């Protein structure tokens, strides 16, 4: 056997193998995209947001590892929206730039404590969450029978609106120091990282109003009033309507 024939014989079986690997990779990627375009992805999104808000954010002050996990889970939520929009050419690159900017600023803010990094982190995360609100809104209120996954998606949308307001509050405090009145024993790290504004936003959204944090700036007060109105009307109108439609869908069996 000639040398070139031996080389061709050795290399020829590898071509189908490489093609199969590429096909398997494309198939796995298509399944991932298919999952995030289904309604059950709304339930996973709700779990990710709940983990970020109620578990990872409060424990992020115990060390950098918890802070890293908090950033990771929020990035997973943002990337989930990216996978949902990946088939839309007009929005794909805008979303990639915004999500990449949010992850970059968040990672940099963990290492370097600079004011401009915190502002950039807040802005990019705000734009990313705004796009994510748009994606989940389209999935929750699209045509078709209302399922339990859509109701969970509506709850995730409720939490996302709360996070959006928290980031706006954080940005206002960074741009206009003293826009909020906070207790003296609250650490500066809690307010600068946004954990205090998560708490304040949820308290405002549910109209509990403990009064430990108050808005001083007039524009911030307007945003607080708007969030309080959304917190009243959203569960009473949208969530109640979705639950009613889900019960009718289950009863009719369609």
Structure tokens at 38: 């289904």
Domain spans of the chain?
40-252
Range 40-252: architecture per CATH: Orthogonal Bundle (1.10)
The pLDDT, as a whole number, for residue 234 is: 93
Per-residue pLDDT 10s for the chain (254 aa) are 555 454 445 554 554 555 555 555 555 555 555 555 667 778 888 888 888 788 777 766 555 565 666 666 677 667 666 666 555 666 667 777 777 777 787 777 767 777 777 777 777 777 878 878 888 888 888 888 888 888 998 999 999 999 899 888 988 888 888 889 888 766 555 555 567 888 899 999 998 888 888 999 999 999 999 999 999 999 989 889 998 888 888 888 66
The pLDDT, as a whole number, for residue 4 is: 46
pTM to 2 decimal places: 0.77
The pLDDT, as a whole number, for residue 65 is: 60
The pLDDT, as a whole number, for residue 57 is: 75
The pLDDT, as a whole number, for residue 45 is: 82
Instruction: Give how far Cα 21 sits from Cα of 27, 83, 223, Å.
Output: 10, 21, 52
The pLDDT, as a whole number, for residue 112 is: 74
DSSP three-state, residue 214: strand
The DSSP H or E segment spanning 217 is none
> If we measure between CA atoms, which residue out of 65, 234, 85, 254 comes closest to residue 154?
234
Which residues touch 36 (CB under 8 Å, ≥6 apart)? Answer: 80, 83, 84
The pLDDT, as a whole number, for residue 6 is: 47
The pLDDT, as a whole number, for residue 7 is: 47
DSSP three-state, residue 215: strand
């Amino acid at each position: 056997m000639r040398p070139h024939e031996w080389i061709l014989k050795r290399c020829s079986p590898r071509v189908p193998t490489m093609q199969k690997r590429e096909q398997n990779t494309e198939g796995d990627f298509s399944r991932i995209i298919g999952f995030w375009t289904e309604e059950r992805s709304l339930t996973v999104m709700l779990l990710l947001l709940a983990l970020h808000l109620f578990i990872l954010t409060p424990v992020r002050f115990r060390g950098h590892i918890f802070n890293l996990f908090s950033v990771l889970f929020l990035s997973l939520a943002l990337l989930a929206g990216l996978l949902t929009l990946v088939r839309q050419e007009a929005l794909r690159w805008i979303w990639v730039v915004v999500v990449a900017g949010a992850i970059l600023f968040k990672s940099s803010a963990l290492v370097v404590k600079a004011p401009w990094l915190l502002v950039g982190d807040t802005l990019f995360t705000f734009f990313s969450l705004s796009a994510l609100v748009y994606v989940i809104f389209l999935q929750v209120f699209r045509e078709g029978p209302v399922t339990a996954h859509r109701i969970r998606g509506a709850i995730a949308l409720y939490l996302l609106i709360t996070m959006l307001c928290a980031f706006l509050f954080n940005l206002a405090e960074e741009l206009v120091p003293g826009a909020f009145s906070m207790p003296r024993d609250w650490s500066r790290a809690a307010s600068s990282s946004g954990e205090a504004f998560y708490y304040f936003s949820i308290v405002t959204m549910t109209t509990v109003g403990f009064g430990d944090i108050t808005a001083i700036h007039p524009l911030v007060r307007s945003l607080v009033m708007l969030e309080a109105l959304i917190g009243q009307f959203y569960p009473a109108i949208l969530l109640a309507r979705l639950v009613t439609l889900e019960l009718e869908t289950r009863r009719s069996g369609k």
